[in-house]
Chains A and B, each alone.
Chain A
Amino acid sequence: MGGPSGGCIPEELIDIPVTYEDVVKTGAIMGSGGMVVMDEDTCMVSTAKFFLEFTADESCGKCTPCRVGTRVMLDMLTDITEGRGREGDIETLQDLSNDIIATSLCGLGQTAPNPILSTIRYFKDEYEAHIHQKWCKTGICSDLCSFEISEDVCTGCGACARACPQGAIVGEKKKPHSIIQDLCIQCRSCYDRCAFQSIKIGPAKEKDKTAVAVKDQEE
């Protein structure tokens, strides 16, 4: 809430009164007064990165902590969301955030780390999954997930196969379909399309990236 500098709070806090003080207690700020509601299919690490992309770009560049600090943190989040997260990154992000907040010249630098601090506070498990298991459970970070169809749940309706831009889903009508991992680009279209929640998002898998879809192969 409060725009890209505001901060993210979890579902459990939905009933807090909307006063300046109560909001601040949660670690967020009133900010622009806006509120965006996200469901369980939103990756909070990716959201933090999204907000930081904005604030790092808007940084005027005058003071060192904001100019360099937001860029460095953005680079770290990019690394984390692309599978290059390392042990200690969470602590470094927190430490750096606090220093940036304390030393920045203006409100932009003083609040830009809020999304990071609040998402680490409330959604630390997502960070840890990203860093240690290379697993984005919401499927947003395409380098950190893999998609599989549960055979016992799939009805074979074929909606996912039609949605797939890569032609990576194969299967007969009314029979459980399967995803060819080497062709999957983790776009999550199938997951979004499936009405039966039969698609499971697992951690990243090794792939042969040179695979070509059957339909695109030369006859």
Chain B
Amino acid sequence: MLKLIINDKNITAEEGETILQAALKNNIYIPNLCYDKRLRPYGGCRLCVVEVEGQARLFAACSSPAQDGMNIKTDTPKLRKYRQTVLELLLIHHPLDCPVCDKAGECDLQDLAYEYGKPDSRFIRHRKASLPDVRGPLIELTANRCILCGKCVRICRDHQGRGALGLIGRGFPTVVQPAFGEILECDYCGQCVDICPTGAILSKTFKFKARSWFLEEKETTCPFCGCGCTLTLGLREGNILRSRGKEGIGVSDGNLCGRGRFGIDYINSEHRLKNPLIRENENFREVTWEEALSHISSNLKEMINTNGAESVGAIGSQRCTNEDNYVLQKFMRNTIGSGSIDSSAAFGYAKVQKAWNMAFGRNSHPIDLQSPYGKEIIFIVESDISVTHPIFGLNILEASREGAQLIVADSRETKLTRHSSTWLPIEDGTGVALMNGIMKVLIDKDLINKDSAAGLKGFAELQAMLEEYTPANVSQITGISEEDITAAAVALGTAKSRMIALSVSATENTKGMDIALAAANLTILLGEDPSTLQIPAEYSNTYGLYQSGVRPLKPEDRGIMEILYGDQTAFSALYIMGEDPVTTFPDSSKILKRLKSLDFLVVQDIFMTETAKLANVVLPASSWGEKDGTFTNAEGKVQKVFKVVDPAGDSKPDWMIIKNLALTMEKELGVRSLEDIQAEMKESQPTVTDEETTLTFNPAKYVRGEEPSQEFPFQLVIRDVLQHSGVTSTSSKSLDLVISEALLEINEEDAKKQGVKDNSHVKVTSQHGSIFLKAKVSEEVPQGTVFVPSHFPYAKINTLTHLASNGESPISVVKIEAT
């Protein structure tokens, strides 16, 4: 603890804090333009200069460490004069754009000039003149407004790890530009837009929409990934005009990704369902809610009477609120009398939950977004966390900058591999083998506490299974050298603190329950706490979905495998809420067959999805932003979402639709309002307190997906792309500007051999079907594998995939033909 005096006030500071940080913490404001708490000090603007007793020169508060005994003055006449001069200098060449600049009203330069500047200038000089660079999507650069604080360059390079902007040139003519003055090509996360103190970097989607002082700001939770960031929405006259991050608020603390900043306009899409629809032969007829609900009611009642309640199933949604999901499962269990309810989490996070239960004896698995910090080693396996969970990825990068050793096993180049200490270029789908190999080295080299491990259930079986996972064998399977495998194992074994992270999601086909179990085994073997293993829930409410009971609970309840893939006669009716199985679930031909064979299908969604097109009744649901509720993020934090805009058309919140349906079926749910639901949920779901941990080893063998053959030489790997999250984001016009196509990424050499040209269409055929996609030749992907994103419904990626007998959806093999 350091003791110092600022403006005659005694304050304390932590070791390592700068004078500015110490002052701000104690509510003493020192003006600054180039400081941000996420960035290392820059010391460029010179506004934060302070007088330190006994020192001949001024100190820049942002760059000077606070020292014990310092006596500092931050607001003397001399300092005020200096700040006036600095601001005078900044304003000389700054264009008089305030009347047409979106930043007006929230511009740091304006605010500081007002507070610390002077009303006139001694200089009349030529103002910098340059046209704004509007060539790229979403982000606009107006160089002549730039005051060269460097924050955009630093946040992009040092925090985001992307480095798309640079300070080009030297001295007075310096400009902030992408390299070679080309179009800005980057993550389009918009961090630069939020951090720029002037109107030099602006969001094109917000341009000229409203003056900042007309905006009403409201905080809500992002609808996309499991991070659950807090978005500060700018609203005006019932419209969401923009979204930004604000420091100090939520788990995101001012950070956001492109989806949260730009992607939320999907709710404004003209394709939103507005009215209930009933199918009449090939077409849909618009009907009233009464007609729709009574139609559903009578049909469902008939199903129940003829085939029994168990013939009705439901699928819940990772994107709907806790309240929506709770009401759906209550409806199924109470009104219908069936426990056959599941969700896409069955292919992803539910497996993690099951693995967690098997390995640690616990039911809840929240992650901690802050967990990368302070760890000696971070091990990421086959997961592009910067894409699936950007804020978690940012923390991992920050931790590695602070000294954590980052070992990343990934088949292709990603942001994480670029910033890693060690990149293990692993063959897709072989993560289980790698982890087994590492465990064998740990045991053989005596790097673990064998006695305590041997005392745990399953150790003998694990050791026996690991016999064949020698470094030589594992090297054969994974493609990683024996030395690297051993080195990774040694590094993990000898480290004092570790974090192991991976993502297991419905939209990825290289991982399943096996890898979660293998990672758990590794965690236990290392003698670590379960919190060392961080597997985040994929979407905004994946975690909450599990907690609200949208899954088989009793032994007789049936899950997704039987609902969609099993015996054709098992189900006669399905109620699908907020999910598009035809697009996102593996083996779409099986799903199509099942859905078409149903007697009755109800789809409740915000868009006419591929699944909805097959329904008997389509119900328009209110989207995120149009209803109140809660999401539970991957940390298990329950966060509110708010109704900030009017529902589209005649849509209603999901929970309300189902409540009304139950009423229509004369078996109401006993809840009238959102508050009722929330009260009931609180009662029925016990808050998870400290659970008992029982450690068990569950040996997980490496099982190969489909083998590449002469006919099907390529492995098909499905991965997310950064600008999208599930299918929802593809309806965003803004994100559409960045990536609107499902591009098949193929290695340069492979492309040459197959005669595939960049940006041309190819026919992709697997043993289950074929589709056409546009190809992108890439230097970042290995040979023998092609990568496709699953976000785009029109691409019908899941025509190519299949389900293995164990319920996993492993790699499929394909052939590529140039067209």
Chain A contact residues, CB within 8 Å of chain B? 56-65, 67-72, 75, 92, 96, 99-100, 102-105
Chain B contact residues, CB within 8 Å of chain A? 42-46, 49, 57-58, 60, 81-82, 85-86, 89-90, 92-93, 122-123, 125, 147-148, 150, 167, 169-172, 174
Complex contact A57–B171 (CB within 8 A): yes
- Partner pick for B85 among A62, A67, A71, A96, CB 8 A cutoff: A96
- Partner pick for A58 among B42, B45, B171, CB 8 A cutoff: B171
Query: Which of A59, A64, A69, A72 has the largest count of B CB atoms less than 10 A from its CB?
Result: A64
Complex contact B89–A104 (CB within 8 A): no
Tell me which residues across on chain A come within 8 A of B43, comparing CB atoms.
62-63, 105
Top 7 closest pairs, chain A to chain B, by CB: A68-B89, A99-B85, A61-B174, A59-B171, A71-B172, A61-B171, A103-B46
- Partner pick for A99 among B44, B81, B90, CB 8 A cutoff: B81
B444 CB to nearest A CB, Å? 54
Given A68-B92, A72-B89; A59-B172 close (CB under 8 Å)? yes
Complex contact A68–B82 (CB within 8 A): no
Tell me which residues across on chain A come within 8 A of B46, comparing CB atoms.
63-65, 103-105
A85 CB to nearest B CB, Å? 14
Tell me which residues across on chain A come within 8 A of B148, comparing CB atoms.
61-62, 64, 67
B154 CB to nearest A CB, Å? 12
Tell me which residues across on chain A come within 8 A of B45, comparing CB atoms.
63-64
- Partner pick for A56 among B58, B86, B172, CB 8 A cutoff: B172
Tell me which residues across on chain B come within 8 A of A64, comparing CB atoms.
44-46, 86, 89-90, 147-148
In the complex formed, the residue of B with least CB distance to A59 is B171
In the complex formed, the residue of A with least CB distance to B81 is A99
Complex contact B58–A72 (CB within 8 A): no
Query: Which of A58, A63, A104 has the largest count of B CB atoms less than 10 A from its CB?
Result: A63
- Partner pick for A102 among B82, B89, B90, B122, CB 8 A cutoff: B82
Tell me which residues across on chain A come within 8 A of B171, comparing CB atoms.
56-61, 67, 71
Complex contact B86–A65 (CB within 8 A): yes
Tell me which residues across on chain A come within 8 A of B174, comparing CB atoms.
61, 67
A62 and B34 alpha carbons, distance in the complex (Å): 11
B641 CB to nearest A CB, Å? 43
Given A58-B171, A63-B46, A64-B44; A72-B123 close (CB under 8 Å)? yes
- Partner pick for B93 among A56, A68, A100, CB 8 A cutoff: A68
What are 23 pairs between A and B in contact, CB < 8 Å?
A59-B170, A59-B171, A60-B171, A61-B148, A61-B169, A62-B42, A64-B46, A64-B90, A64-B148, A65-B86, A68-B90, A68-B172, A69-B85, A72-B89, A72-B125, A92-B122, A99-B81, A99-B86, A102-B58, A103-B49, A103-B86, A105-B43, A105-B60
Given A56-B172, A64-B45, A96-B85; A103-B58 close (CB under 8 Å)? yes
- Partner pick for A103 among B82, B150, B170, CB 8 A cutoff: B82
A68 and B123 alpha carbons, distance in the complex (Å): 12
A71 and B148 alpha carbons, distance in the complex (Å): 15
Tell me which residues across on chain B come within 8 A of A68, comparing CB atoms.
89-90, 92-93, 172
A155 CB to nearest B CB, Å? 49
B614 CB to nearest A CB, Å? 62
A72 and B60 alpha carbons, distance in the complex (Å): 23
A151 and B803 alpha carbons, distance in the complex (Å): 109
Complex contact B172–A62 (CB within 8 A): no
B33 CB to nearest A CB, Å? 9
Tell me which residues across on chain B come within 8 A of A103, comparing CB atoms.
46, 49, 58, 82, 85-86
A56 CB to nearest B CB, Å? 7
A105 and B49 alpha carbons, distance in the complex (Å): 10
